[in-house]
Structure 1
């Protein structure tokens, strides 16, 4: 009874505390056996633990040990200036709270981010979520992504001007040789808009347009982006 009440209390607190930050948490079972990037905070309350994770954009979840009050904020990517420790939670006294994000499943998990970023910034933001910039392997996937995340009534009629999103495709290493960034594999399927790609060495990153077609664009402009993960 205490454990259930404790979960409810913490969940309600985090919901209230984080509401204005658009962050909420769910209590989940320990599924991951190893956490290579954890930041340790000794003698924290569970509420302090949730607070520090909420305020850290690199933190995707936190682990709290009910016995020794050890708080561990979990990162998916190394944050400069942080001291990390490796954690293997095999203790039933450890509670796990994960940030809720509205991933959509269609073979893989996809998460659209409406805030804009350069290609490099978008890549890092996806890595923070234990994911990567979307990699598209079929016309069905390209069309589904556009229909699910980009087609909106507010979109401009010009496919180039609005409602577009970064993918992981780029030819930054070798002009004309497009690779998927995460898997470092050649882009075998393509869905270029007519007369694209045409930017040569000034436009090296692929973005998805609202009709499902692709365009090469300067990696330094800011666009929304779509993150993908396998599980």
Structure 2
């Protein structure tokens, strides 16, 4: 596993602990890296404080929306796992994500993700939904996710038939139903809407580490 330090994130911590895999005490820097690389296969990086001998293993890389810039925490250094995902993909909790900026219909988006060894994004928790929004949705418009009721009207499922729907982020009153709105996407607030599958939107592909 290869780590690189990001000096832009010196002396800051995430706004909360939701992106932590573990917080470990009384560890040296090398021991922290071993935990990240061997004991925590979902580890996307680590925060380390040499003075405190404390190590925080992270589910994702940090971005400007995930850290508290107004409250310094001196001595912390961010090191990211460069092997978590290939270049252009972002890691979160054992999965890699890629935002395709080419707008396409839902079926084409799904097929393109499969060609890249993945699938249209499956959002399994509120935490993941929030991270996806902060990581990829910096402007208006919609982004496809992989849920639809194309197979059975009114029964929403992911594009992979063996994937269970454990979380949804529908806007109140959604999904509104009907054969003309069988796919779904989310906006810059993370709220989901159903919409016509032949609309063209950007989309996120997901795959395992």
Q: CA RMSD for the aligned pairs?
A: 1.4
Displacement of 1:185 in angstroms is: 3.3
Instruction: For 1:49-60, list aligned pairs within 5 A.
Output: none
TM-fit CA distance, 1:194: 1.9
Structure 2 residue 93 is the aligned partner of structure 1 residue 115: no
Task: Check if 1:190 corresponds to 2:168.
Answer: yes
The CA distance in 2 between the partners of 1:132 and 1:145, in whole Å, is 15
CA distance in 1, matches of 2:161, 2:207: 12
| Runs of at least 4 residues off by over 3 Å | 183-186
SS in 2 for 1:202: coil
The verdict on how the C-alpha distance between 1:199 and 1:177 changes in structure 2, with shifts beyond 3 A counting, is closer
How far has the Cα of 1:103 moved from its partner? 0.4
Which residue in 2 is equivalent to 1:171? 149
Gaps of 5+ in 1: 1-99, 156-161
Do the aligned residues in 2 keep the contact of 1:109 with 1:229 (CA within 8 Å)? yes
Q: TM-score, normalised by structure 2?
A: 0.56
The answer to whether the 8 A contact 1:110-1:226 is kept is: yes
Task: Name 1:222's counterpart in structure 2.
Answer: 200
Alignment partners' CA distance in 2, 1:172 and 1:110: 24
The whole-number CA distance in structure 1 between the counterparts of 2:178 and 2:126 is 24
Which structure shows the higher helix fraction? 1
Q: Show CA shifts across 1:200-230 (max 9, x none).
A: 2210111121111111110011000000001
Q: Which segments of 5 or more consecutive residues in structure 2 lack a partner in the other structure?
A: 1-85
Contact 1:110 1:227 in 2 (8 A): yes
Normalised to the residue count of structure 1, the TM-score between the two structures is 0.51
**Aligned residue for 2:89?**
103
